[in-house]
């Protein structure tokens, strides 16, 4: 069965320093993976998605993620954090069930950015 | 385009009361979904509708019913609210293409408190 584990529930960085949000997945077939961001009291917005094309995926707002099959990881990175990046981030894997693709969410990582 | 809209944004109910959460999308998407979000658990699928006229149970369907009124609208009903249903509810939609994997687009959420 497909599942996803976000290794850190909270990450705190200083503005201008790199961001690393870790995600490991479990999938019995080649997965599709997503990162979504949720700002306080807002809905979810897609940051980026991996669908078996390039293993390094670039998203919005300077974020990128690298799919590593050997490590079953899909970590999210950004070279330099901005205050506006403070939000909750969800790693998501698809599961094919009942003839349809469904999204399986990780528990989320809350990113705090300090001045 | 408004995308995915949800009403109401906030609601407080007493145990045993009923209510319907409304969701509409203007992107001509085939599939629609209802999730609940609880702290530390990511989003969990309650019900989904792969296409107009069909609905199926997700991970946590107990205590809920849904109606796919037409292609645009997908409502979630709580017949007899319980405190365990206190949560943030998100509606999402997706364009079901014959190939590829498409992300889901989320509404802003409904914050429900059951006393």
Express each pLDDT in A55-84 by its tens digit.
Answer: 899 999 999 999 998 999 999 999 999 999
A51 shares contact with chain B (CB less than 8 Å): yes
A31 inside 8 A of chain B by CB: no
**Residue B69 burial by Cβ neighbours in a 10 Å radius (0-12, 13-18, 19+):** middle
Interchain contact A7–B (C-beta under 8 A): no
- Choose among A9, A41, A98: nearest Cβ to B56: A98
Identify the CA nearest to A66 among candidates A37, A33, A101.
Answer: A33
pLDDT band at B11 (very low <50, low <70, confident <90, very high): very high
A54 Cβ neighbours under 8 A, 6+ residues apart:
none
Q: Which two tokens stand for residue B9?
A: 């944004």
Provide, as residue numbers in chain A, all residues whose Cβ is less than 8 Å from the Cβ of B31.
Answer: 100
- Looking at residues A85-95, what average pLDDT do you find? 92
Token pair listed for B100: 């590829």
Write the DSSP string, chain B. ---EEEE-SEEEE-TT--EEEEEEESS--SEEEEEEE-TTS-EEEEEEESSTT--EE-S--TTEEEEE-SSSBEEEEESS--GGG-EEEEEEEE---SSS----EE---EEEEE-
Nearest of B69, B34, B65 to residue B53 by alpha carbon: B69
pLDDT digits (tens, 9 = 90+) for B41-75: 888 999 999 888 899 999 899 999 999 989 999 99
Cα–Cα distance list, B18 to B14, B49, B55, B85 (Å): 9, 22, 20, 12
Name the nearest CA neighbour of A107 among A24, A1, A9, A35: A9
pLDDT at B101: 61
Predicted confidence (pLDDT) at residue A39 exceeds the cutoff of 80? yes
Residue pair A74/A7 in contact (Cβ under 8 Å)? The answer is no
């Amino acid at each position: 069965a497909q599942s996803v584990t976000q290794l850190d529930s909270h990450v705190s960085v200083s503005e201008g320093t790199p961001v690393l949000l870790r995600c490991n997945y479990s999938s019995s077939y080649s997965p599709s993976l997503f990162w979504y961001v949720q700002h306080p009291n807002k809905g979810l917005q897609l940051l980026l998605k991996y669908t078996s094309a390039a293993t390094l995926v670039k998203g919005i707002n300077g974020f990128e993620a690298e799919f590593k099959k050997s490590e079953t990881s899909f970590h999210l990175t950004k070279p330099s954090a901005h205050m506006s990046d403070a939000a909750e981030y969800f790693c998501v894997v698809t599961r094919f069930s009942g003839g349809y693709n469904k999204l399986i969410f990780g528990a989320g990582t809350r990113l705090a950015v300090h001045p | 385009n408004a995308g995915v809209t949800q009403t109401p944004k906030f609601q407080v109910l007493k145990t045993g009361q009923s209510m319907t959460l409304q969701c509409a999308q203007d992107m001509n998407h085939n599939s629609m979904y209802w999730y609940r979000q609880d702290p530390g658990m990511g989003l969990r699928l309650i019900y989904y509708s792969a296409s107009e006229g069909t609905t199926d149970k997700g991970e946590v369907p107990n205590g809920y019913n849904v109606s796919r009124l037409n292609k645009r609208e997908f409502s979630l009903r709580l017949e007899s609210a319980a405190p365990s249903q206190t949560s943030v509810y998100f509606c999402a939609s997706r364009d079901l293409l014959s190939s590829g994997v498409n992300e889901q687009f989320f509404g802003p959420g409904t914050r429900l408190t059951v006393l």
